[in-house]
Structures are given as C-alpha cells and as structure tokens.
Chains A and B, each alone.
Chain A
Amino acid sequence: MTIPQSQQIGNVKHLVAVKNLKVHFQVTDRIVRAVDGVDFHVNPAECVGIVGESGSGKSTLVRAVSRLMPNLRVKELSGDVQFEGRDVLKMSEGDLRELRRSRGFSMIFQDPLGYLNPTHRVGRQIAEALSPHGNVQSDSQRVQSLLEEAGFQEPNNVARSFPHELSGGMRQRVMIAIALARDPKLLFADEPTTALDSTVQLQVLQTLYRLHKERNMAVVIITHDLGVVAELCDRVYVMQTGKVVETADSVDLFERPKHTYSARLVELSAHRSSFRGAQYE
C-alpha cells in the first residue's frame, strides 16, 4: 500500500501511532477525562505493556484505538489514531469492518465468559470470526488448528462445548483462538489474566508470548502486574489519571524509574514478590 507522503501523519514504520488522543465521557453531570492527551505507538512485532491503576484510562485508550468503545456517552473523542498510516478514528463502519476482517487488529478481554455468547457453541463462535458466514462444518479444519494454536489438546471437544462448560483459562484460550482467526498484525490484551487463577495466568501468558514470537504479531498488554511487563514486554507505558506519565524500555523502568508514580509501582511490585518469597500468602 502506498500513501502519498503528504498524507502521512504518523510514522509509517509504526504499526499504530497515536497522537494527542482524548476520550472524555459524560457521566451524569460531570465529565470524565478517561484519556487526556495520550501519545502512544506500537512497532510491528513488538510487545508493549500498559500499566497503571484502575481508572487510569488504560482500557479506554485501547478501546478507542480499536474502535470498540463501551456504551457510554462520549463527550469528546479527538486526536490521531493511525493504523498502518490510516486514520482509524475517521474510518467509516464499512472500512472498519474491512480492517477487522483483514489482517488488522483484534482484542481479548479481562472477563472471557462475558465476551463469549452463552447460547452458541465455541466452534461456531470461532467459525464466525473466520468469515461472517462461517460455518462449523466447512471451517472445522481451521477452527481446529486455531484451537490447537491457542493451546488446546482436544480441539474437537472444545469446539462442541458451550462457554459455560469450560474453565476460565480455557475460555480465555477460546477468546485467543477467535482473536487469531484473521491473522492480526496486532493483538490488544486487556488484562487477559486478571480473572484467572495464578497457575492458569502463567499458562495463558506463555501462550500469548509464544504466539507473539511465532506469528510476529505485535501485542499490547494492559495489566496491573509489573511482573508480567518485566517478563514479556519490550516497552512499557505507565498511565495515571488519563495521561502517560512515563514510557520506557521495560528493563529501564525497573532499574531507573523516572516518574515518582512509576517508582512507587516498581517498589510495590518488588515488595509483593518478597512477600511471596517469604510465603506469607
């Protein structure tokens, strides 16, 4: 795809380039500045972490970039969001659908049960991601291989299950299989392991990391857990009250946090691991 130089706003080398993004919600009589002037980018095949406490705007940032905004009254949505040089915020619904059906971006969520349709079998939900008219019979091979890639040993049994028949970790793997269906260049993972048992957390993260490497797929992970960032991510953004307060290589963040808030997060995370080491839990 060639784009005239004059129309390139972001750096085309970036897969995603966000400039001065603002997302403000109208909540009853006040305005919540969920995201307030954020610059952000993701390079191809890179793993980026976004950390920050609840309500710091991490999820909203990712939701706005992927145009999957929640049902809130949006007061302001402005800024530049480029995906491979195309402005995502200005895309029509039709273009957006095209992007989602081609090698664009996809997303997994904190609560996989709520994000799977309870009345459809898993196989059908994956087939639907492969093509809008996807059907379980004709696509069964591809559904199977997606489930295998997401780490299932017995993909056939899983495809025939309903979401409520699976465990939390399995549901998240199903979400991953759905997200992989269109071979995305970028996967947003919004607190993918927060709702899972700690043993399962590790397995799901390992799966994500393997897919990131195998597929050369860029991954953006939102998390509370700096340990996750240290293990997986190349770079990290620290967010607080709708703003990015620090961005650094993840190694640098741990060794030389610049912002006081980041320093506190790092300190707390170290504190918690020593807690675990002493087996007080």
Chain B
Amino acid sequence: MLRFILQRALYALPLILVIIVVMFTLLHLIPGDPVQALVGDYPVPPAYRQAIEEKYRLNDPFFVQVWNYVTAVLQGDFGYSYQNQRPVLGLILERAPRTILLASVGFAIAIPLGMTIGVITGTTRSATTDKVWTTSALVAYAIPAFWLGQLLVMFFALRLGWFPTQGIGPLVSRAHGFDWLLERARYLALPALAFAIHEGMRFARIMRASVIDTLSQGYIITARSKGLTRSQIISRHVLRNSSLPLVTIAGYAFGSALSGAVLLETVFTWPGLGLLMVDSIRLRDNLTVVGVVIFSAFAVILMNLLVDIFYALLDPRIRTGG
C-alpha cells in the first residue's frame, strides 16, 4: 500500500510542474500591466515603475522568471503578493481553512442527503415516489449554486432574518466557547446549504442509478433466497456496493471544491480561496493566482489518491488485485 501511495505521488510531481509552467505562461500572455494595476487609475511615475520592476524582477527573460519561480516553489516559497503586501503562501494558508470548512460542511450534508434520496428513489416500488423525488432532485440540481445562494439569502436572511447575508463572522465578537461556535455556524449555514443542495442532488442521481444497478445483481437474488427482509438486503447488500461510484465522484468533487467554489464565495463574500482567486485575477496579482492554482492542483491530486485508497477499502477485489 505504501509503495502504491509513493508511486502515485511520483506520478503527480511532473503533473504539478507542468501546471506551474502552463499557468505562468498563460498569465504572461494575458494583456495588462501589473504595475499599472498596482498604482490604480493614475499615470505611473517612471521612477516608481523602475523600482517595482527591479524589486520583483519583472524584466527578467521569461524562462528565467519561470525557472526562478519553480525552484522557489519547490523550496516552499510561493513568492510575494505585491497587492496584498504579504507572502503568497501565508495568504493561501489563511484562506484555505475557510474554504476547507465550507466544503467539508457542505459535503457532510450533501453526501447523506444524496445517498438518502438516491436509495429512496432507487429502491422504491412506487413509480410516483420515484418520479416526485427524481424530478425534484433534477430541478434542484439544475439551479446554479450561486443563484440558489441568492434565493436562500433573500428568503432566510432578508425576509426571515434568521441568518446573516454574507461574510464569515461579525467584525467584533465577544462570544466565547459554544456561543462563538453558534455564531460562526449562523454565518456558515447559508453558503454551506447552497453548496450541499447542489452537490447533494448530483450525488442523488448517481446513487439512484447505482442502487438500481446493484438491485439487478445476482447476489440480491441470493439475499432474497436467504429470507432476508427488504431493509436487511438494502443495508447489507445494496448500500456499500452502490456507494462505490459515489466515492469516486464525491472525491473528485471535493478535490475541486477545495480550490474554492468561486461563484458561491463571491455571492456570500466568503473570504476563501475562490474569492482570493477572483480578486487576484482582477488585480493581476499573478503570483497569487498561480499559487492558488498550484494549491488546487495539490488538493485534487491528494483527493484522487484518497479516493483510490478508500475505494480499495470498500472493494476487496481492488485490494488484492493491485
């Protein structure tokens, strides 16, 4: 197993290198002037321009810039964000936990929600139950998460006033312990819910198809011939076997969610990686953009690895086959 993990990690290394180089190149190809962006809507004084260009070595040949960047990244130095006046790594490490929190809570709701709806629609013998749930899930999935977020804000935050409309917490808070947690949870509730509903409906559709497929397998007939009840068959023979496709999809989805649900974070002004990415692109803060992308690539690769391991735990055929 250790060898398997190391092997996968080795495969990932060239991938990350390519991502770094491609990102760096693309950002250079985009028209625009980082010094101008830094100054804003004023003419740039030549002396200032020269100072900035020297400080950040903007006039070095392109390949030299790429080389310097790659070697620095491999030493853990992601560069300096001249927009935020902070090292990029510190910026990412500050933002990442918020995005991870949002994604984790979202998934913690989405997975049981999707599995429940999937199992209900997949196992029901009533065509009406199936149609009602399947159609509702499809409609909910068709709503873009950011618009769903706005609807939730309009209803639960503006109309009912139960939750704050945006942000990650109050500017000044005197709450401690459990109260602090509760306060934070109120800010987290709506973005997490919007995220969970969208992803959960996708999981429901996958789960339903998978449950139906599992129910047609021979071992379900064997289970029936053993005289098991319907709920025993579902809990022992259907749930685990039909979760396999969901593990794959959910793992990849979680990996990409770690790069920040860009639109959702924008709607809720949730200061995670997605918002950082949007701001950095707008301000041409290239090093930050590349840093976030590299972090996302790491996250996706790591999640794929975890998916493979988890898959092997669920399905013994892979465990001994690999």
Interface residues of A (CB under 8 A from B): 66, 68, 70-71, 93, 96-101, 106-107, 109, 111, 114-120, 125, 128-129, 132, 162, 164-165, 175, 178-179, 181-182
Contact = CB atoms under 8 A, between A and B. Distances in A.
Q: Which of B223, B225, B229, B240 is most buried by chain A, counting CB atoms within 10 A of its CB?
A: B225
Interface stretch (B16-24, B105-113, B185-193, B214-222): B214-222
B232 interface: yes
B206 to A, nearest CB: 18
Nearest to B222: A115
B236 interface: yes
Contacts of A109: 218, 221-222
Interface in B208-249: 215-219, 221-230, 232, 236-237, 240-241
B222 A132 contact: no
A20 to B, nearest CB: 25
Contacts of A98: 227
B229 A119 contact: no
Contacts of A178: 222, 226
Given A119-B240, A165-B320, A128 B228 contact: yes
Interface string B99-142: 00000000000000000000000000000000000000000000
Contacts of A182: 227
Nearest to B230: A93
Interface of B: 215-219, 221-230, 232, 236-237, 240-241, 314-317, 320
Q: Which of B222, B230, B236, B315 is most buried by chain A, counting CB atoms within 10 A of its CB?
A: B222
Contact of B229 (A97, A99, A129): A97
A101 B224 contact: no
A48 B173 CA distance: 82
Contacts of B241: 117-119
Contact of A114 (B219, B237, B316): B219
Q: Which of B224, B240, B314 is most buried by chain A, counting CB atoms within 10 A of its CB?
A: B224
Nearest to A112: B218
Contacts of B224: 68, 100
Given A101-B227, A178-B226, A68 B221 contact: yes
A117 B226 contact: no
A165 B316 CA distance: 10
Contacts, number: 76
21 contacts: A97-B229, A100-B225, A100-B226, A101-B227, A106-B225, A109-B221, A114-B217, A118-B219, A118-B241, A118-B315, A118-B316, A118-B317, A119-B316, A120-B236, A128-B223, A128-B228, A128-B236, A132-B226, A132-B228, A165-B320, A182-B227
A162 B316 contact: yes
Given A97-B228, A116-B222, 19 more contacts: A68-B221, A71-B215, A100-B226, A106-B225, A109-B218, A109-B221, A114-B218, A115-B218, A115-B222, A117-B241, A118-B315, A119-B240, A119-B314, A132-B227, A132-B229, A132-B232, A165-B320, A179-B225, A181-B226
Contacts of B236: 120, 128
A68 B225 contact: yes
A98 B228 CA distance: 10
Closest 8 CB pairs of A and B: A100-B227, A114-B218, A115-B218, A101-B227, A117-B219, A97-B227, A162-B316, A129-B226
A247 B226 CA distance: 31
B237 A71 contact: no
A214 B240 CA distance: 38
A106 B227 CA distance: 10
A157 to B, nearest CB: 14
Q: Which of A66, A71, A115, A116 is most buried by chain B, counting CB atoms within 10 A of its CB?
A: A115
Contacts of B225: 66, 68, 100, 106-107, 179
A221 B221 CA distance: 18
Contacts of A117: 219, 222-223, 237, 241
Nearest to A106: B225
A128 B317 CA distance: 21
A118 B241 CA distance: 8
A182 B226 CA distance: 9
A120 B228 CA distance: 16
B318 to A, nearest CB: 10
Given A162-B316, A164-B316, A128 B226 contact: yes
Contacts of B215: 71
A152 to B, nearest CB: 18
Contacts of A114: 217-219
B222 A162 contact: no
A25 B232 CA distance: 28
Contacts of A111: 218
B216 A115 contact: no
Nearest to B321: A164
Contacts of B219: 114-118
B245 to A, nearest CB: 14
A115 B220 CA distance: 7
Contacts of B314: 119
A44 B221 CA distance: 25
B248 to A, nearest CB: 16
A97 B314 CA distance: 29
A164 B228 CA distance: 23
B258 to A, nearest CB: 29
A88 B88 CA distance: 73
A164 B227 CA distance: 24
Contacts of A118: 219, 241, 315-317
